[in-house]
Structure 1
């Protein structure tokens, strides 16, 4: 006979989703002491803790708890689907949106607002990550949707293109090239360049130069967009980035000029990605479509 019931699995899912016993108890319509007792019994039966408890901090899943909660949510979803009269997809309860870190300042807040307005009953959370972390998160089911560049994703990922982005050259005002309204990769190839240290980003940029028969001079690889901007503003080289904030000052007060790079081969798709293709009409498919539509309508 099974010790854990479907209700026990619902308890685990609710606590994992809400991060606190009080919020989970309210959502489950049970008392907090009853939920706390049930959770302790579940962990005792399993022989290991599912949650890390720290005074004054939200409950967080242990590594074993993360795997258990994911499996429990799948079980609950299957039960919901079996009981649905038309065998429809289960309701979406939580949604984790990942975003490439350099894109996050431009699109993450609008993405969250769009999803929360469209699905007010869903708990929407966000994570700003690098390319490798986004890919791993999608593969492991820790991220449902990702807003990123179409780099490093194989055919196992489904993507919807939001728009195409051109890269920008970031220069100090005193540089001779600031007189141009647009620049080409050929004009930049002999300049000392500052690129992101993100592996796929560097590889992509080197491939662009190679495609037109050029080898760039890389002076620095910056750990963040703002470090890249600061180095460029201080004369350490010319920065190249697909993200160019509208502000013309760096953190240290130096001025910076942003000039678009016009090579068509350098334009890069920004996408909303998922691991696999969500079932048509499912809550995740609707969330993906709505997010893609909302972000594609934003000015670039």
Structure 2
């Protein structure tokens, strides 16, 4: 069994078929098919069912997919460990994160890593929910993840570190006057229109809870891509609920930003699989935890 065969197998799984995988890998499809055929003969099982022009994972293929990703991770960890002896931390770590967690703390972590470990590359994978972040980590697509979740993320072999409590903000169109002293209460929202994300996100769950408590909150637009919420708010379509990672961007864009009284909070977590990690993944995790620890220290007077 060769590394190349495992890389081809994982690419077919992640790209949804031989044609797309061959295009992504920039190899001829017949070469890809021959490599997988050889792997299947060596294993003695079919990894895919060929249905017309499509390839569907067999039971054996389903069983092998996560393990193949982990083998590739272990090989990367071995190579990175050897390189780190003479060159410092090098390599790549893939991180799954929801949009607010990408803004904070992932961007801050990348900036610090860039300064101290210039040979390290961080790849970010977008996720809509904490459940999707956890799934990406457990399946081996990413080595680490950052997300907001009311409950501690759990899964077989998953390690979760509490980073901080995010605060939800009300982001309103320019010129909107609400509340007092830059804060609003849930009652201040009565009668307002909102741009919201689709179900299964932490922000949508918080909106639904507020709507049930306050009543008379209208949905002006429901979006699948949360990156369009702020532009819609700026156009006056409605207000939005956003985690505090969006604060600086929203203010610079010209939106009115308010905090809630009492605060609307959501725990933020760093997750990864237990067991050996690549040097790059360990550096990402250590840096993120170190930043969170520094942020929790009381500021000197």
TM-score, scaled to structure 1: 0.61
Verify the 8 A CA contact 1:114 1:291 in the aligned structure 2: no
Q: Which residue of 2 aligns with 1:274?
A: 272
> Is 1:290 aligned with 2:292?
no
Verify the 8 A CA contact 1:206 1:216 in the aligned structure 2: no
Larger radius of gyration: 1
Alignment of 1:67-106 (within 5 A): 69-70=68-69, 72-73=71-72, 94-106=92-104
Alignment of 1:1-300 (within 5 A): 4=1, 8-9=2-3, 43=36, 45-46=38-39, 69-70=68-69, 72-73=71-72, 94-115=92-113, 124-131=122-129, 132-151=131-150, 154-156=153-155, 157-177=158-178, 180-200=181-201, 201-208=203-210, 210=212, 213-215=213-215, 217-219=217-219, 220-242=221-243, 243-248=246-251, 255-264=254-263, 266-275=264-273, 278-279=274-275, 287-294=284-291, 297=294
Whole-angstrom CA distance in 2 between matches of 1:75 and 1:279: 10
Give aligned pairs, total.
241
CA RMSD of aligned residues (A): 4.4
Verify the 8 A CA contact 1:195 1:228 in the aligned structure 2: yes
Residues 81-105 of structure 1: per-residue CA shift (max 9 Å, x gap): xxxxxxxxxx996522111123324
TM-score, scaled to structure 2: 0.61
Q: CA deviation at 1:202?
A: 1.0
Q: CA deviation at 1:137?
A: 0.7
- Structure 1 segments unaligned to the other structure (5+ residues): 18-37, 51-61, 81-90
More helix as a share of residues? 2
Secondary structure of the residue aligned to 1:174 is: coil
- Structure 2 segments unaligned to the other structure (5+ residues): 11-30, 42-46, 48-55, 79-88, 297-301
Verify the 8 A CA contact 1:12 1:72 in the aligned structure 2: no
Whole-angstrom CA distance in 2 between matches of 1:116 and 1:14: 27
Q: CA deviation at 1:142?
A: 0.9
